[in-house]
Structure 1
């Protein structure tokens, strides 16, 4: 009987801790640097996982749970429209990285 209560307590603690996990979404400029990492992040491909994890760890988070290209319409008023983000015929793109503690 004691072991059942220990198991239930452990399950409750794990469920509660995951429910209160600190999670944040960072929106960053997707710089076209020629290395391809930016495209991996923007497309949500596996090759962007290390870059997303490094970004999260640099901000004291434990893991990157998602990363993808952000359409400027998704973030009202925070991401400049193409009129202000285009330089020399090339427009900036943005990437959302979701980090979790």
Structure 2
């Protein structure tokens, strides 16, 4: 009886861990498009939900669970420090979109 309970517990843990493997965070450059979509994504507002979902679906994920602005300091070693990407008062911003299958 104990071995059956242990087997069921292990199966539950494996199923739960595989669900976690189906999440991925994409960091993308958030460039002004003239439609305000960049601000919707960066501020996590409802108007960015469709864009985030479409982005995830284009990468074979079912949905976007979150989206928000990311400081370059949060990204380890891949984004130049603040000021390096600035020209004429415009600096690059980045958005993190979390996708799930």
TM-score by length of 1: 0.79
Query: 1:69, 1:45 → 2: CA distance?
Result: 11
What residue in structure 2 maps to residue 96 of structure 1?
A: 96
How many residue pairs match? The answer is 90
What residue in structure 2 maps to residue 20 of structure 1?
A: 18
**Tell me, what secondary structure is at the counterpart of 1:84?**
coil
Query: 2:50, 2:44 → 1: CA distance?
Result: 12
Change (3 A) 1:56 1:18: farther
Query: 1:46, 1:17 → 2: CA distance?
Result: 31
Query: 1:57, 1:86 → 2: CA distance?
Result: 31
**Tell me, what secondary structure is at the counterpart of 2:55?**
helix
What residue in structure 1 maps to residue 73 of structure 2?
A: 73
TM-score by length of 2: 0.79
Mark the runs of 5 or more structure 1 residues left unpaired by the alignment.
Answer: 1-8
How many angstroms does 1:86 deviate by? Answer: 1.1
Change (3 A) 1:25 1:91: same
How many angstroms does 1:87 deviate by? Answer: 2.2
> After TM superposition, which residue ranges in structure 1, 4 or more long, deviate above 3 angstroms?
15-19
What residue in structure 1 maps to residue 3 of structure 2?
A: none
CA RMSD in angstroms, aligned pairs only: 1.9
Change (3 A) 1:86 1:23: same
How many angstroms does 1:58 deviate by? Answer: 0.4
Mark the runs of 5 or more structure 2 residues left unpaired by the alignment.
Answer: 1-7
